[in-house]
Structure 1
Amino acid sequence: MLNICEQKWIISSLTVYSFILQFSPLLIHVLVNDVRATADLETVEVTEGETITLNSHITGVKSDDGILWTFGTRNIRIAQIFKMEPFTHYDEIFRNRLQLDTQTGSLTIHNISITHSGVYKLQIISNDVSTKQFNVTVYARLPVPNITRASHSKRKSSISLTCPVLCSVDSVNKVTLSWYKGNHVISTISDSKTSSLFLPLEVEYHDKNTYSCVASNPVSNQTALLIITSICQPVSGHRLILLSVIPAVALLLVVILVLYWKFRKVKKNT
């Protein structure tokens, strides 16, 4: 097993170090893990398009220190510092997005996207080897929920004193849709495999409470306010009376027709 001095000698040679990193990632993995290393895991959650910095918490990088950043389960090299010189051109999906701090080894990712979700590993090779990991989750930007009037469910009577509304949102990763009455949640639905999420609600036409529909994920939320007077048209007194009379009249006509048919049948038989 190589001792620490031999490892530092390997890293001090740019040609050998670059060759090993490019063509023998397994060997460098063995070299790094043959010494006692400390591993920390930090969870980072962010919205796509933002800029984040994965902090190494190092007070200062020495001229002979080796800094290596890898990404994903395959530990793909994405950035490194050699002799205080940063290199960030290794992987295409991070093109023009990475920035290395040569004093601390911290990695900044600009305009981060969902494809950049995963585990980032920082290996600091100095007098010993220390490892720090970051589990980064990038969430899609949330759209504002859309509130529309819905149709009443099928009932025996078509008369209703409530207004059905529907809140919907395009489904993105790990989104929750909720109806609020004031500051209290009254119903909720979580992310599904469908292309959109829908959450119904019924309110009275003259309800004076404040209702809102909120789309949320662990890092952000979007809110749409329900304006009952805009979405729902209240039923007037005359219209309500008319709606009450029509079913009764229809039923009476049916009874009359049945009685007339029976009367004709009896008369025909006599």
Structure 2
Amino acid sequence: MKNILLYFIFLFFMGGVFSKTVSVKEGDSVTLFPELTEIKKDEVIDWRFGDVLIARVRNNNNLSVYEDALDGKFRGRLTLNGQTGDLTITNFRTTDAGEYEVSNSINTIKKTFSVVLHSGLSPGEIAGIVVGVLVALVAAAVGGVIYKKKSQVI
């Protein structure tokens, strides 16, 4: 019993079990990262949406995407990386929001991603606005300094 408890504590603290929330805008792509550096030769990585298997990597080169799962919900929109197990969903739809789980056959990873849809500005759009405002402020400050110096010369 003590060994089983230690095993679960090890899995938890070594990042084997965790949940992460990912926010995505409708129409964008999102990549879910299981944070594997490589997939071992006899390892199987499974991706599930809810309880339904949607993708699998076997032996880091045998990739399967189950496009007919969930009545073809993800048809043509899933990409799987055979080296790292990363799953990319393109053209994200409102019906794609939910729980995605990745696990492996040797029970060292089990991660849940809660993917939520947001309709606000993307981080890139926010960064662009911030940079634009900062550039405008710097330009105004420089212009003010130049104007002040010219008016003092006269």
Range into which the TM-score falls when normalised by the shorter chain: 0.5 to 0.7
Query: Match for residue 90 of structure 2?
Result: 110
SS for the counterpart of 1:53 is: strand
- Where does the alignment leave 5 or more consecutive residues of structure 2 unmatched? 1-6, 126-154
Identical-pair percentage:
31
C-alpha contact (below 8 Å) 1:45/1:219 kept by paired residues: no
Structure-to-structure mapping, 1:186-225, within 5 angstroms: 217=120, 219=122
**One of 40, 43, 53 as aligned partner of 1:77:** 53
- Where does the alignment leave 5 or more consecutive residues of structure 1 unmatched? 1-34, 141-216, 222-270
Query: Match for residue 100 of structure 1?
Result: 80
C-alpha contact (below 8 Å) 1:119/1:135 kept by paired residues: yes
Report the AA paired with residue 67 of structure 1: I
**One of 61, 65, 69 as aligned partner of 2:39:** 61
Q: Does 1:43 align with 2:21?
A: yes
SS for the counterpart of 2:21 is: strand
Cα distance in 2, alignment partners of residues 129 and 121 from structure 1: 13
Q: Does 1:87 align with 2:67?
A: no
Query: Match for residue 100 of structure 2?
Result: 120
Cα distance in 1, alignment partners of residues 32 and 101 from structure 2: 10
Higher Cα radius of gyration: 1
Report the AA paired with residue 119 of structure 1: E
**One of 117, 142, 150 as aligned partner of 1:138:** 117
Cα distance in 2, alignment partners of residues 218 and 129 from structure 1: 36
Report the AA paired with residue 89 of structure 2: I
Compute the displacement of 1:61 (Å).
0.6
TM-score by length of 2: 0.63
TM-score by length of 1: 0.37
Cα distance in 2, alignment partners of residues 71 and 95 from structure 1: 14
Higher strand share: 1
Structure-to-structure mapping, 1:235-250, within 5 angstroms: none
Equivalent residue pairs, number: 109
Cα distance in 2, alignment partners of residues 76 and 102 from structure 1: 20
Compute the displacement of 1:65 (Å).
0.6
Identify which of structures 1 and 2 has the higher relative contact order when contacts are C-alpha pairs closer than 8 Å and 6+ apart.
2
Compute the displacement of 1:219 (Å).
4.4
CA 1:39–1:218 in structure 2 vs 1: closer, same or farther (change >3 Å)? farther
C-alpha contact (below 8 Å) 2:53/2:66 kept by paired residues: no
Superposed CA deviations along residues 153-195 of structure 1, whole A, max 9, x for unmatched, are xxxxxxxxxxxxxxxxxxxxxxxxxxxxxxxxxxxxxxxxxxx
